[in-house]
Amino acid sequence: MTPADSPSAPSNVVPPAPGSSRTIIVKEYDFFKVVQDYLERASRTLDLADFVRAILSQPKNELIINFPVKMDSGDVRLFKGYRVQHNNLLGPFKGGMRYHPSVTLDDVKALAAMMTWKCALMRVPFGGGKGGIKFDPHSVSKNELQKITRRFTHALGENIGPEYDIPAPDVGTNSQTMAWMMDTYSNMVGAANKQSVKGVVTGKPVASGGTLGRAKATGQGAVFCVIEWAKEKGFDLEGSTMTVQGFGNVGSHLAVILSRLGVSTIAVGDHTGYLLNPEGFNAHKLQDWVETHGSIAGYPGGKAITREEFFKTKADIFAPCALENQIGETEAKNLDCKVIVEGANGPTNPAGERILLERGIDILPDVLANSGGVTVSYYEWVQNKRSESWTEEEVDAKLEKAMTRAYREVADFARQHKVDRRIGAYGLALQRIEAVYKEREIFP
Which residues are near ligand GLU by CB under 6 A? 94-96, 168, 170, 202-203, 345, 370, 373-374, 377
Least Å from the CB of residue 44 to ligand GLU: 26
Q: Which residue intervals of 5-46 are DSSP H helices?
A: 31-46
Rounded distance between C-alpha atoms, residue 149 and residue 179, angstroms: 10
Least Å from the CB of residue 148 to ligand GLU: 18
Q: Which is nearer to ligand GLU, 60 or 94 (CB)?
A: 94
Q: Which residues contact 112 (CB under 8 A, 6 or more apart)?
A: 59, 84, 85, 86, 93, 95, 128, 129, 130
Rounded distance between C-alpha atoms, residue 228 and residue 410, angstroms: 12
Residue type at position 444: P
Q: Which is nearer to ligand GLU, 203 or 352 (CB)?
A: 203
Least Å from the CB of residue 265 to ligand GLU: 22
- Asked if 22 and 16 count as a contact pair (C-beta separation under 8 A), the reply is yes
Per annotation, catalytic residue among 60, 118, 130, 216: 130
Q: Which is nearer to ligand GLU, 335 or 376 (CB)?
A: 376
Q: Is 130 a catalytic residue?
A: yes
Give the CA angle between residues 172, 121, 335 to the nearest 5°.
60
Q: Which is nearer to ligand GLU, 110 or 283 (CB)?
A: 110
Rounded to 10 deg, the angle between the 105-121 and 372-386 helix axes is 70
Query: Nearest Cα to 165, choosing from 197, 200, 202?
Result: 200
Q: Which residues contact 33 (CB under 8 A, 6 or more apart)?
A: none
| Cα 416 to Cα 247, 411, 421, 429, distances in angstroms | 36, 9, 11, 15
Residue nearest to ligand GLU (CB): 96
- Work out whether the CA dihedral 107, 112, 113, 114 comes out positive or negative: positive
Least Å from the CB of residue 59 to ligand GLU: 15
Least Å from the CB of residue 332 to ligand GLU: 23
Q: Which is nearer to ligand GLU, 310 or 378 (CB)?
A: 378
Catalytic annotation, residues: 130
